[in-house]
Amino acid sequence: MSRLLRGIIAAAVVLLVIAGFWQWREYSAKKELRDNALLYFKEQDYSKTIQYLEEALNRHSLLAGSLDHDMTCYLAESYYQLADYEKAEEIYDSLIAADPGESRYYQLKGRCAREAGDYERAMEIYKQGWEKTEDSLFLKDICDIYLEQEDYENALAFTEQGIAAGGENKGEFMYQKVIIYERSQDYEAAYEAVQEYCGLFPDDENAQKEMTFLSTRI
């Protein structure tokens, strides 16, 4: 091996060591800032939390992939807690872009729009979440908004869609169907719906009481 080649290899090794040390130093600094941020988060000092998290995220280390993701989630929640819903949504958009199949980011983004009073946009976010993830809880969120608006027709439509989707949330949708009919004062339909529910979930004492009550209204 020539002297020149040995020199190149030695220089490369030195550079790798320096780069590795720099990456570790940046990672350690990020972690310390993140730990401080979480202390303020627990104390509900969200402004300080944001200050430390943003400083940490501005540091770059190849070792900090999962750490950066964790801090980004805390950053979004901190802005939400300060009622800066627009900023929180921006951060959730970045999380969705990185992982479009993760349902909770759509849930949390929709929560921001809902708290801001923009129910139409919240429903659009929930619909997008349903299309991307097929998590039926998004249908429940949409139903809840329609119920708040006393739009029983649309609430029922999405409830039926939730029932058809099946899965572990089917029972919740079936009982919501009872609630919708009762609130719209269609007691006969509510009674039929609660009978169907109790047929599948006979041990639900509250539903049994509801069936007894509805039997007096028809």
Q: What is the pLDDT of residue 68?
A: 85
Q: What is the pLDDT of residue 98?
A: 92
Q: Which residues, 6+ apart, have CB-to-CB distance to 136 below 8 Å?
A: 130, 162, 165, 167, 169, 173
Q: Residue range 164-184: average pLDDT?
A: 94
**CA pair distance 206, 196, nearest whole angstrom:** 14
**CA pair distance 53, 48, nearest whole angstrom:** 9
- Poorest-pLDDT segment among 28-37, 62-71, 123-132, 175-184: 62-71
Q: Is the pLDDT reported for residue 206 higher than 90? A: yes
Q: What is the pLDDT of residue 63?
A: 53
**CA pair distance 43, 95, nearest whole angstrom:** 25
Q: Which residues, 6+ apart, have CB-to-CB distance to 134 below 8 Å?
A: 165
Q: Enter the pTM of the model.
A: 0.80
**CA pair distance 140, 161, nearest whole angstrom:** 10
Beta carbons within 10 angstroms of residue 212's beta carbon: 10
> Of 33, 109, 39, 30, which is closest to residue 63 (Cα–Cα)?
30
Q: Is the pLDDT reported for residue 45 higher than 60? A: yes
